[in-house]
Structure 1
């Protein structure tokens, strides 16, 4: 009986979330048409943050999921944020961690194709209007050019850049190899501090319908690092990865 109530409650909440996402899509489109892009960008940032709060609230009441975020220190701007990538929850956690910042993501272009013609309602149109960089991982040259333009445009506007250096999400306990070439490209285009973020247990939330009960999502800003020479960054990247692995291992044994 308890499981049946859980399924019914989850179904109702998922329906409400779906309605809110499609409603947000319509509101963004109308705002863009009536008030222009600048006003629309502020609205999208607010929607992303509110949906992130809704994400945490819904998982707490339906699945007993806890979200523990270590408050980040005072951070410079702009900066490059490097996060390990565990699951779909990482997007929402990033907005909860850096809620006062103007985040811009480098992401795979598949995010735009979740639903034909529309992508992910509200999110696809929102990410496009905010100027996220969507790369085609099968065409490295075009992706490099897109990243360079993206970095120059957004750092000039004092926006923070978020990158998942593993390239894709995974369920392994430790991180996968970081793509140092991507980090090097970004820091050559714009020299800026690097902020490391460790994210834990995101792989336990596979989708809106497949989640584990009573898990704990963890997020911690590990600090601000300064790369002295972007041409020789491999040693720094290894240190970045080791720092995140050390935090993941600490959480694993708590």
Structure 2
């Protein structure tokens, strides 16, 4: 019963905060440069991280942050839940996330997500998606904005082996690309 109550409370805060941050972001911040818009939208990510800790008891410990490059870089992450998208977008900021373009059409969530200037790709057209990722990714890197990619292309269960998108080996041609493990 307590678990159900916590879940309902978490999702209530989650939904209300999406509506709030998306609406206020569009109304007040859509005309500002990327750095200002993204900082505002990242407040939502911070809120979700805080809300998950407060309501659900989620705790995060980052190990190895000192190994991240100082300049912009391409980050690859396993995609196992919604959690890493919120956390990594905040933690690696400034970062542009590569995502399926359908997410941008979701009411409120997608509208706010547009303000963060993601690289929205059409997964139905892999060749075009790769070209977009490379073109826009290089532009972001040149503007000191890192790029976050989930190489499986979709969520996988924790611990499950997955196939990576065929474009991942192409990433080596991005300027400044280095593989960190």
Q: TM-score, normalised by structure 2?
A: 0.82
Q: 1-side partners of 2:146 and 2:18: how far apart?
A: 25
Q: Structure 1 residues 152 and 75 mapped into 2: Cα distance closer, same or farther (>3 Å)?
A: closer
Question: Contact 2:37–2:115 (CA<8 Å) still a contact in 1?
Answer: no
Residue 72 of structure 1: aligned partner: 65
Question: Contact 1:52–1:92 (CA<8 Å) still a contact in 2?
Answer: yes
Residue 111 of structure 1: aligned partner: 103
Larger CA Rg, structure 1 vs 2: 1
Query: Where does the alignment leave 5 or more consecutive residues of structure 2 unmatched?
Result: none
Question: Contact 1:111–1:120 (CA<8 Å) still a contact in 2?
Answer: no
Query: Where does the alignment leave 5 or more consecutive residues of structure 1 unmatched?
Result: 114-118, 196-221, 223-254
Residue 176 of structure 1: aligned partner: 162
Residue 160 of structure 1: aligned partner: 146
Residue 14 of structure 1: aligned partner: 11
Question: Contact 1:137–1:143 (CA<8 Å) still a contact in 2?
Answer: yes
Q: Structure 1 residues 60 and 163 mapped into 2: Cα distance closer, same or farther (>3 Å)?
A: same
Question: Contact 2:53–2:59 (CA<8 Å) still a contact in 1?
Answer: yes
Q: Which runs of 4+ in 1 moved over 4 A?
A: none
Q: 2-side partners of 1:130 and 1:187: how far apart?
A: 25
Residue 95 of structure 1: aligned partner: 89
What secondary structure is seen at the aligned counterpart in 2 of 1:70?
Answer: coil
State yes or no: 1:187 paired with 2:179. Answer: no
What secondary structure is seen at the aligned counterpart in 1 of 2:51?
Answer: helix
Residue 37 of structure 1: aligned partner: 32
State yes or no: 1:24 paired with 2:18. Answer: no
Question: Contact 1:6–1:62 (CA<8 Å) still a contact in 2?
Answer: no
Q: Structure 1 residues 64 and 23 mapped into 2: Cα distance closer, same or farther (>3 Å)?
A: closer
CA distances 1:127-153 after superposition (whole Å, capped 9, x unpaired): 323321111111122212212221221
Q: Which has the higher strand share?
A: 1
How many pairs align?
Answer: 180
Residue 122 of structure 2: aligned partner: 136
Q: 2-side partners of 1:68 and 1:26: how far apart?
A: 32
What secondary structure is seen at the aligned counterpart in 1 of 2:65?
Answer: coil
Question: Contact 2:101–2:121 (CA<8 Å) still a contact in 1?
Answer: yes
What secondary structure is seen at the aligned counterpart in 1 of 2:61?
Answer: strand
Question: Contact 1:151–1:190 (CA<8 Å) still a contact in 2?
Answer: no
